[in-house]
Amino acid sequence: MIASTSHISIDGDRLLDRIDQLSRIGADPRGGVTREAWGDADVEARDLVARWMAAADLRPTVDPAANLVGRSPGHGDRWLATGSHLDTVVQAGPLDGTYGVLAALEVASSLHDAGHHMQHGLLVAAFANEEGARGTSGMTGSYACVGHTEEAPPDEVDDAGVTVGERILAAGGDPDRLREARWDPDAIDAFVELHIEQGPVLHANGTSIGVVSAITGRQALDLSITGVANHAGTTPMDLRHDALAAAADVVLAVESLPGPGSVRVATCGHLLVGPNVRNVVPGRVEMGIELRDEDPETLAAGTRRLIERIDAVAARRGVAMDRRLGQMVPPVTSDPRIVDAARAVCERTGTSWELLPSGAGHDAQVIGRMLAVGMIFVPSIGGISHSPRERTDAHHLVAGAEVLLRTLLELDEVLSATVPPSSVGDPGFR
């Protein structure tokens, strides 16, 4: 089958033009692109991609979680899935998530242009709220697809005081029917997500393609520190219960946590200080912390170690610390069949590649709870992402889409030969 599909190729100009068109939707006057999930710009981008899906005979649907899903049946009753997300952080670049959706669409468009149907049906998804808009949990759409809506619940309230359910409803979904968004794992053989690396490794090494070995796990921890607000001029240093000084100790404890035998990275990226007045000893601090690692046991041990350090700071500083474990996204190992398929494609086409883990979380990580998953990376120039300066060379964007196409064709052949026929025939979309 692979030889007979050698004439099928990505239309690079079409892919790059679509990336450019999407970058104009939500263009932020301060720089970059802002398409927070379920907002007007996000819905506008989703509707444009839906029109492109229809032109590729992908039969687009918006499911109850406000995911955009397109599917094109194959000769058999099994499915291969691919895609990513269209929402962004504030002042993002043009590629994070968007590239994976548009490359998946380009695969479908190229197959359609060639009049080729795989044995598997092709399913292309643009998941809703991967980024965690307005302080929400994130990955809402992919959690709905695996039936774990409790991990991104519709009654969660965002920073603007609006529930996730209200956001979903305004974007064309139905929060009362989220269970209907669940995919049928017995019908889908694999999910492959193409993405920019969002890190510096491929660009630094001059490598065109990253084949992802595993996707990092992430443990969030929220911390409220309560000290005693008091006059900064009259309160002696040895009688203070300074919440911000305690927070500084915690920040340093977080920074020093990674190392041999511990988590890969640890970050404190969120601080709110009260009363936040120059001449008042800070009495309260809210902190947001996260730990990441590819090994679940290492992640759990690192969390326990950090909690011990936090408790020691509280005792030494004479402050109270209310700690709450937040969202935990387990690490996921890539399915070896997908890794082997992507690697074989790169070697057959003479495309440079290397095996590396993903330091960022992705929808594939959630989908991996239910399906065989894998990821393909292309370089990020300078390792920059979540920034208006996010860029990837055009030839790498086209090469990545080509590798995605060939990987799906390879999996179509391999999995059609190894997976017994199913009578299901429908991946679960309504």
The backbone torsions φ and ψ at residue 396, rounded to the nearest 5 degrees and listed phi first, read -75, -35
Say how many CA atoms lie within 13 Å of 1 toward its Cβ. Answer: 17
- Does the pLDDT of residue 425 top 70, yes or no? no
Summarize the confidence of residues 307-331 as an average pLDDT.
Answer: 95
Q: CATH 3.40.630.10 residue ranges in the chain?
A: 3-216+331-418
The single-letter DSSP state of residue 124 is E
Helices first, then strands: H and E counts in the chain: 11, 15
**Angle at Cα 258 formed by Cα 324 and Cα 308, nearest 5°?**
40
* Neighbour count for residue 20 (Cβ, 10 Å): 10
Q: CATH 3.30.70.360 residue ranges in the chain?
A: 217-329
Rounded distance between C-alpha atoms, residue 108 and residue 127, angstroms: 17
The backbone torsions φ and ψ at residue 82, rounded to the nearest 5 degrees and listed phi first, read -155, 170
Assigned CATH class of 3-216+331-418: alpha beta
* pLDDT, tens only, 349-401: 999 999 999 999 899 999 999 999 999 999 999 999 999 999 999 999 999 99
* pLDDT, tens only, 277-290: 999 999 999 999 99
Give the pLDDT score at 3.
43
The b/e string for 91-116 (b: 16+ C-beta within 10 A; e otherwise) is: ebbbbbbbbbbbbbbbbbbbbbeeee
Q: Please state which CATH number belongs to domain 217-329.
A: 3.30.70.360
Across 231-235, 271-275, 419-423, least confident range = 419-423
* pLDDT, tens only, 70-84: 999 999 999 999 999
Average pLDDT, the chain: 95
Summarize the confidence of residues 22-26 as an average pLDDT.
Answer: 98
316: buried, middle or exposed (CB in 10 Å: 19+, 13-18, 0-12)? exposed
Q: Strand, coil or helix: what is 211?
A: strand
Give the pLDDT score at 428.
62
